Amino acid sequence: MTSTAQIPSTPLLPISPRPVAVIDIGATSIRMAIAEIHPDGEVRTLDTLVQPVDLGREAFAIRRLSRKSIERAAAILKQYQRVLREYGITSNENVRVVATTAVREALNRLAFTDRAYIVTGLTVETIDEAEVSRITYMGIAPQLRSDPELADGRSIVAEVGGGNTEVLVIRSGNVLHSQSYRLGSLRLLQLLDQARVLPSRRRGFLESHIRRTLDNMVDDVQPDPTNRMVAFGGDIRFAAHRLLDDWDGVSLAPLATDRLAEFTDEVLKLDEDTIVRRYGASFIEAETLGPALLGYTMLAQAFQQPSLFVCDTNLRDGLLHDMAVGGSWTAEFRNQIVRSALGLGRRFDFDEAHARNVAELSRKLFDQLKPEHKLDYRHEVILHVAALLHEIGLMINVRSNHKHALYVIRNSEIFGLSKSELLQVGLLARYHRRAYPQPSHEGYGALGREERVVVAKLASILRLAIALDDTRSGRIREIECTRESRQLVINVPGVDDVSLEQVAMRQNAGLFRDVFGMPVLLRAGR
């Protein structure tokens, strides 16, 4: 009888959580959050730090940051770096540093980011409004989903910052509108200083300027009785902590608009020293508190909200969630981008059936040609959006519609796409017909080599997809790409006659041949 020896199994060791940190360089402070990301994607915040800076006052007034402010910011980052080492975070891959409105608007922002890199080795990423909206959504979406009243409703999510007011309209998890408005507490204070307004007239002056922006907001976001307003930001959290005795500081908390208005009236009557003594605020908080709370109050009143929900979520929460998914665009986020693009297309009365079919064919070509183009998931989204919007310029002018498409897309907002990504989408639409990419063309010549190659690759794929739907009948939906004798063969199963599409393919495949070195043959299914 033969016995079989039992090999003892080695128990699997638990995977340790990954320590990470995010640093947010804002208009009035530099804040850091240290957290750990668990294997299941859960993010647990370990520590938060804040240091005041005065970047916004300089950037908004003279559009430059002083040497003193740059050195102050660099010193804070160096201090934060020492704290990171205490937490065992020594690799810059586990740290993300972003700068928002103040640094973005400074003409010498490169001097700022370069100095930070020289002192700390950290790369400061200056993010635009679209990236702020995307990160905000990443942070706020879990909060909305967890609340029964907000999960399936229509929420106006707003933050009155030092430089801008960010607004997202979300319904059932879908972003209906996103916009950044040049309304901020520091900007309002600068207007007061420039106008030398008497103390007795300060309130009326602030209300007048806030109301101008609110009129635009109301036009963009139509009032609706089903709306619910969600407010986040340091100033509204400060007010909530003093008005809501039972708030745990974490969950969504309803705050009556009338109570907020009363507290705002009280704060606006006080000077900064009194606010510091009475409410325990820092001097930075005391300076911006009144104008910011007035902005929140008037926003709630403009949308006829008897109360608003105060949320503890901030930009750093969104950054941490973004790091937890590896900075990749989730399927849910991709859908948000596509919905926003469809909304833009509908405003220009595009041929939606044709656009959708070209977009789907582009996706299939992108997927089957991965060994050739070697691009990632984000590029597929950019191609998909460009395919949806490639004819958006037809409403303006038929003959030069490709050029008008570039202009419209570059000057529009598509939720989740940065200005750089919008330019790439616009260039793909510009090159869906006629001339091939040239260095002298608007926008294209300013791209770096890597981005130019990406645009050329994606534009060549887009032209193939357009040829496949040349009849606009949608009859070609499935394709099979093969490589035969150094050429790309696109087989169309289930379609016996593709003679019209073959003519279009011969006209459209030249760019693909030049970029990938492969001619294209379109063949009917057998």
Residues 329-362 have pLDDT tens digits of 778 888 899 999 999 999 999 999 999 999 999 9
For residue 224, name the pLDDT band (cuts at 50, 70, 90). Answer: confident
Number of other CB atoms surrounding residue 280 within 10 Å: 12
The stretch 473-492 carries a mean pLDDT of 94
CATH of the domain at 45: 3.30.420.40
The stretch 110-134 carries a mean pLDDT of 94
Residue 292 shares a structural domain with residue 337: no
Number of other CB atoms surrounding residue 521 within 10 Å: 17
Q: Is the pLDDT of residue 183 over 50?
A: yes
The stretch 294-305 carries a mean pLDDT of 95
Residue 233 shares a structural domain with residue 295: yes
| Last-in-domain residue among 127, 153, 187 | 127
Does residue 120 come out as left (phi exceeding 0), alpha (psi in the -120 to 50 range) or beta?
alpha
Distance between CA atoms of residues 147 and 254, nearest Å: 12
Distance between CA atoms of residues 430 and 410, nearest Å: 11
- Classify residue 5: in a domain, yes or no: no
Confirm if 315 and 24 have CB atoms less than 8 A apart.
Answer: yes
Give the model's pLDDT for residue 1: 44
- Classify residue 192: in a domain, yes or no: yes
Give the model's pLDDT for residue 526: 62
- Classify residue 4: in a domain, yes or no: no
Domain that holds residue 278: 130-320
What are the φ/ψ torsions at residue 486 (nearest 5 degrees)?
60, 30
Q: Is the pLDDT of residue 369 over 70?
A: yes
Edge-to-edge, what's the strand order for the sheet holding 154-160? 174-181, 165-171, 154-160, 227-232, 307-311, 253-256
Residue 253 shares a structural domain with residue 234: yes
Average pLDDT of the chain is 91
Distance between CA atoms of residues 296 and 307, nearest Å: 11
Give the amino acid at 252.
L
For residue 174, name the pLDDT band (cuts at 50, 70, 90). Answer: confident
The stretch 301-327 carries a mean pLDDT of 90
Burial 145-177 (b: 16+ CB within 10 A, else e): eebeebeebbbbbbbbbbbbbbbbbbbeeebbb
- Classify residue 292: in a domain, yes or no: yes
Give the model's pLDDT for residue 2: 47
The stretch 164-171 carries a mean pLDDT of 92
Give the model's pLDDT for residue 15: 74
Write out pLDDT tens, residues 486-518.
899 999 998 989 999 999 999 999 999 999 999
| Last-in-domain residue among 111, 127, 143 | 127
What are the φ/ψ torsions at residue 22 (nearest 5 degrees)?
-130, 145
Distance between CA atoms of residues 111 and 368, nearest Å: 44
Distance between CA atoms of residues 186 and 180, nearest Å: 15
Residue 91 shares a structural domain with residue 206: no
Residue 293 shares a structural domain with residue 348: no
What are all long-range contacts of 123-127, with beta carbons under 8 Å and residues at least 24 apart? Answer: 123/92, 123/97, 124/25, 124/97, 124/98, 124/99, 125/96, 125/97, 125/98, 125/99, 126/98, 126/99, 127/98, 127/99, 127/100, 127/418
Q: Is the pLDDT of residue 182 over 60?
A: yes
Q: Is the pLDDT of residue 375 over 90?
A: yes
Residue 121 shares a structural domain with residue 189: no
Q: Is the pLDDT of residue 372 over 80?
A: yes
Distance between CA atoms of residues 56 and 63, nearest Å: 9
From first CA to last CA, the distance across the chain in angstroms is: 61
Give the model's pLDDT for residue 100: 94
User: What sign results for the dihedral spanned by CA atoms 35, 230, 322, 60?
Assistant: negative
Residue 338 shares a structural domain with residue 483: yes
Distance between CA atoms of residues 115 and 138, nearest Å: 30
Q: Is the pLDDT of residue 210 over 90?
A: yes
Q: Is the pLDDT of residue 239 over 90?
A: yes
- In SS3 terms, 273-301 reads as HHHHHHHCCCHHHHHHHHHHHHHHHHHHH
Residue 215 shares a structural domain with residue 313: yes
Residue 154 shares a structural domain with residue 293: yes
Give the model's pLDDT for residue 11: 57
- Which residues are CB-neighbours of 265 under 8 A, at least 6 positions away? none
CATH of the domain at 396: 1.10.3210.10
User: Helix-strand-coil percent breakdown of the chain, rounded to 5?
Assistant: 55, 15, 30
- Classify residue 9: in a domain, yes or no: no
- Classify residue 13: in a domain, yes or no: no
Residue 423 shares a structural domain with residue 399: yes
Residue 180 shares a structural domain with residue 146: yes
- Classify residue 297: in a domain, yes or no: yes
Q: Is the pLDDT of residue 191 over 50?
A: yes
The stretch 110-136 carries a mean pLDDT of 93
Confirm if 372 and 408 have CB atoms less than 8 A apart.
Answer: no
- Classify residue 1: in a domain, yes or no: no
| Last-in-domain residue among 291, 320, 349 | 320
Q: Specify the range with the lowest mean pLDDT, choosing from 184-193, 215-224, 298-307, 399-408.
A: 215-224
What Å distances lie between residue 153 and 175, 255, 318, 387, CA to CA? 12, 18, 21, 31
Write out pLDDT tens, residues 85-94.
999 999 999 9
| High-pLDDT (> 70) share of the chain, % | 97
Q: Specify the range with the lowest mean pLDDT, choosing from 73-77, 102-106, 195-199, 234-238.
A: 195-199
Total structural domains in the chain? 3
If one compares 427 and 418, the residue with the highest pLDDT of the two is: 427
What Å distances lie between residue 260 and 108, 158, 229, 279, 322, CA to CA? 39, 15, 13, 15, 32
Residue 134 shares a structural domain with residue 121: no
CATH of the domain at 176: 3.30.420.150
Give the model's pLDDT for residue 71: 97
